Structures are given as C-alpha cells and as structure tokens.
Structure 1
Amino acid sequence: MTTIKYGTIYKAIGGYDAVERLNTAFYARVAQHPDLIPIFPEDLTETARIQLLFFVQFFGGPRLYEEERGHPMLRRRHLPFEITPTRKDAWLECLEGALIEVEIEEPIRIAILERLTLTANHMMNTPE
C-alpha cells in the first residue's frame, strides 16, 4: 500500500475543491457507462452530492458524510444494488479516468486507487 507523506490524501490533493472536481469528473463518466447506468438513478445530482461527502471524509477531510448520514455502512447501503465484478471494474475505471482528468499525480493517484479498490471489492454482492 502506498504511504502518503503529506498527511492526508485530502490535503495532498488540494482539499475540498480538488475532491469536488474529482467527484464531478467521476460522475460524468458514471452517467455514461453502460455497465453502471442500470444501477444509478437517471438524475445523479443527489447521488453525486452524497458521494462528495463520502470522498471528503474517506480522503481524510472533515467528517461531512458522518455528520449528515451517520456511519457509512457501505456494504449494507449498497446491498439493494446488484454490484457484479463487471460493475465494480466499471466503477474503478470511471474513478481512474477522473483521477487522470483532474491531474491527480503519482503517488497520490495510486494511493486513492488502492484504497478505493479495496472498498469496491467489498461492495461486490452479485456474481456475473
């Protein structure tokens, strides 16, 4: 696992504004990905807003998600959605593209992908 020498990922990438740019780029991809469209709402506004709160907290920023929604309980919250290995990979593909688009540099990009790959693997709940 990559170690961050700048404190938190949140600080290393530039704080809230950088996380917001990443989230926006990420959801632009999610909205167009054929493997993800079936499990996301047509209007991604609220989903993206909640994801932003999560990313801010997950990357070591303020605990915005927890303040609004309580403990993440990610697996439980995602159980209603069929998350297959293909969808997990599609989600990570969208994330990686967004990281590149907003110019998150190495080694931070690798650290983010490593952490969120673990999370994405945990979210899978349906075989192909």
Structure 2
Amino acid sequence: MTDRVTYYEAMGGHETFVRLVHEFYKGVADDEALRALYPEEDLGPAEVRLRMFLEQYWGGPTTYSEQRGHPRLRMRHVPYAVTPDQRDRWLLHMMNAVDTLDLQQELDDMLRDYLTRAAYSLVNTPGADGTF
C-alpha cells in the first residue's frame, strides 16, 4: 500500500465528479447554441461518458476505457462542428460547475487549466468571423 493520493482522491472522488458533471449539464440543457453539439435528446448518457472520462483522466477508475476504448478526445469530437463560440459556452458552464466544488486552490487551478486547454483543443470550425 502506498501513501500516494491521486488527484481523483484529493478532489473528493466519485461524488465530486458526479456533482461537477451534473452541474455542467444543467447549464448545457438550457443553452440552445451549445445543445446543438449533443445529438441525443437525453443528456444522461453524455453525462455518464464525461464523468467516466474525467474520473479516469484524474486517476480514478478506468471505466471509460473499459467500456469505450481509448479516449481519443479530439478524434471523438471530429464529427461535430465545434466553434469558438461553442467552446466559450462550454467553458462558461464548466467553470460555473467547478465553482460549486469548493476545491483546494491548487486543485481548482489544475482542473480549470486542464478544462480550458481541452476545450481550446477541440475547436475545429472557424467562428462567424473566420477565426478559430
């Protein structure tokens, strides 16, 4: 046994990620422009997938890979036209969700940094002004 704690555990484990993702999808549900990226009528399956992905990324259970294979984040998002506006909307709802967690500052900063970098990396369609 090791004294080493994963980021997943330090953040509060499963319940923290359930809360994060659920709060995020509450924002998505009412955001028409962002909702266009979610073809399923029911956001429940997307909520489960994102929670499993984030849990695995931060050192929790590997359920995402066991059920869906390698995350291949960019590849999985290629079929969707992700614009800078949608990225910004995604980040707005995600950062609002992070606000509800009351994480230690260092963990909060790390989570926000990762989510921001991930969101920027998924933009694959220029905005109305032609920029990414």
Query: TM above 0.5, one fold?
Result: yes
Question: Mean Cα displacement is larger for which, 77-86 or 102-111?
Answer: 102-111
User: Cα RMSD between the aligned structures?
Assistant: 1.5
Amino acid at match of 1:17: E
Shift, 1:19, TM fit? 0.9
2:84 matched residue in structure 1:
85
C-alpha deviations, 1:70-127, integer Å up to 9, x for none?
Answer: 0011111111111011111111111110011232342211110111211111111100
1:47 matched residue in structure 2:
46
Shift, 1:42, TM fit? 2.6
1:19 matched residue in structure 2:
17
Aligned match for 1:32, one of 30, 33, 48? 30
Number of matched pairs: 123
Shift, 1:7, TM fit? 4.1
Question: Mean Cα displacement is larger for which, 10-19 or 32-41?
Answer: 32-41
Helix, strand or coil at the partner of 2:117: helix
Structure 2: gaps spanning 5 or more residues: 128-132
Structure 1: gaps spanning 5 or more residues: 1-5
Amino acid at match of 1:86: D
Q: Find the aligned partners of 1:10 and 1:68 in 2 and give their Cα distance.
A: 19
Q: Find the aligned partners of 1:8 and 1:127 in 2 and give their Cα distance.
A: 37
Shift, 1:31, TM fit? 1.1
State percent identity of aligned pairs.
Answer: 35
Shift, 1:8, TM fit? 3.0
**1:92-107 matches, cutoff 5 A:** 92-107=91-106
Shift, 1:18, TM fit? 1.1
Helix, strand or coil at the partner of 1:60: coil
Helix, strand or coil at the partner of 2:33: coil
Extract structure 1 runs of 4+ deviating beyond 3 A.
none
1:3 matched residue in structure 2:
none
2:76 counterpart of 1:73: no
Which is higher, the Rg of structure 1 or of structure 2? 2
Amino acid at match of 2:12: G
Q: Find the aligned partners of 1:82 and 1:54 in 2 and give their Cα distance.
A: 21
Task: Select the structure with the greater relative contact order (CA < 8 A; seq sep ≥ 6).
Answer: 1
Amino acid at match of 1:78: H
